[in-house]
Structure 1
Amino acid sequence: MNSLRQKLEIKLSEWRQSNRDITKARELWRKYENLTYDLANSLCEQLRLILEPTLATKLKGDYRTGKRLNMKKIIPYIASNFKKDKIWLRRTKLSKRQYQVMIAVDDSKSMSETHSIQLAYETLALISKALSQLEVGDISIVSFGERVQLLHPFDQPFSSEAGAQVLHQFTFEQNKTYVRSLMETSIELLEHARGKYNGLSQRKELWQLQLIISDGVCEDHDILRSLVRKATEAQIMVVFIIVDKKSEKDSIMSMNQVKYKSVDGRMTLNMERYLNTFPFEYYVVLRDINALPEILADTLRQYFSIISQNI
């Protein structure tokens, strides 16, 4: 697998330096799908186990114990001298949930400089293939750097041809990585996509997920933290996948940042680990693509567990 990965990375580099032919892009995307085929199947099956239990969300009666009282049964219960005691509702009625998944990939030069492009494409192929096999709902792809660009909209099915078209549109030449701009734009796009569902009940049954694939270096942590909170309030889960191809010494896991803090009226220099203030609650550091299915599934399992308890 490592030999295949290295050969594919060389072919990708040659294609990026040539005329970027779309026919070659189709061939490259097929190779990425083949390379991640087993991993996509693994992720698909793990996600299936996580998502299927969320179908049983609607309350139904009548039971002697349950989640919530059925108010229509209270008066008959009292009138029967408390004998008709099947007055509780349980979550047993199936509800067809819909999912919209937006995958955002960092299109900046830093991804190229850290040799993260290969890992990013593999991650994109793996996730999109797994979600398509699962028939999870609608998939959208965006790129971001200095600007945010919608590469694949929700209202079009994601296929191998769509994957090739997406691969063809990435440049990895943008000079900056504005994660704040990505969050602001993606929240608007996701809220607009939610608004297309007719009726309040349909919108409530829609779960939205944003997966961000980047090297993890971002500014404005306080502002980003508030944007993540805004996304959560809008029922949008955000998972940040940090592709980390640097050496252990330069890894984001070892990265520090320096800040000035006021102590007794005096400004002092304070150094702390970069990830200690990382603004995204759900994130994974990915150094090996083979670890992605288990790590991502575990992250989503935790999230859906929290959601199901609050429904």
Structure 2
Amino acid sequence: MKHQLIEKKQHDQKINICKIVEKASSIFERLQGNFIPETSQDNEKIIQKNLEYWCQKIAKGDWQLFNKRLEWDNIKLKEVQQFLGNVSVKNQQNLPDWAKILKEVVALNHQIYTSDIKQKLANGKGSKDKYPFEEILYPFIQVARNKLVEKAGMNYEILTASAVACFEVNLLQELSWLTSNTLYLEFSLFRSRQTSSIQRLLQDLSRTNSTKVYEMFVSKMLAGDLVSFLEEYAVLSRLIGKTISLWVEANAEFLNRLALDLPQIKNTFFANQEIGKVIDLKLSLSDHHNGRRSVIILTFSSGDK
């Protein structure tokens, strides 16, 4: 019954993906003609406030110097000013890939996928390894997996389950690093509403390791609060979606090129012997470049690297 209520609440949640795109858009994107500035007195106040803040940050309040700085980027103050407040997306059917990824995450039935992903990720990390708020991030991993399978096609089959888990744990680490501070802030607020200051003091003194409040927070997020979280922290949402998009692109390219080059690799380095599927991956061995591409060391089932 509890799961049914959670699932119903979740399906009732609809994410305002356009609002996230609008809030997370940069000034340069707004100037490209894809956004329409809002016209209202309240928005004029927002524009003026943002303009003064921008001038203070760029030129320490010196408007002459500020205008000169804008000229370097070929930006005219009168043109840019209207886009410093609230805007709306001109074409709601033409949203960036990262926004579509967020929409797919929200559409997932989280109760179905969470335990499945947790089990599969265990193949790629030690049993003691745990990343902050990883349970909340499982739906993002599922969407990333679906997109990688779709983009790599049959070439995805070159990976064993343990190799797939290596890919996904790598993404989980990145997403946890991106989101942990903000999720901890929300968790702290949630915890303060669930327990009194005296209760928290007693818990600290007793040094109990109860995870009850944490589990309540995770359940609440997966039951629908993830939507409001993504809408509230629009720039973070963009970073999450963009990271997943680049992860899919880079790893699909890797798998497609590996499948294409595999016959030559076997012939050149392994005397044309069968080396099997990929069973292990060492990822992010260099700085990310050209998207999320980096050095990878792979191990085949034959033991060869």
TM-score by length of 2: 0.23
The structure where helix makes up a greater share of residues is 2
TM-score by length of 1: 0.23
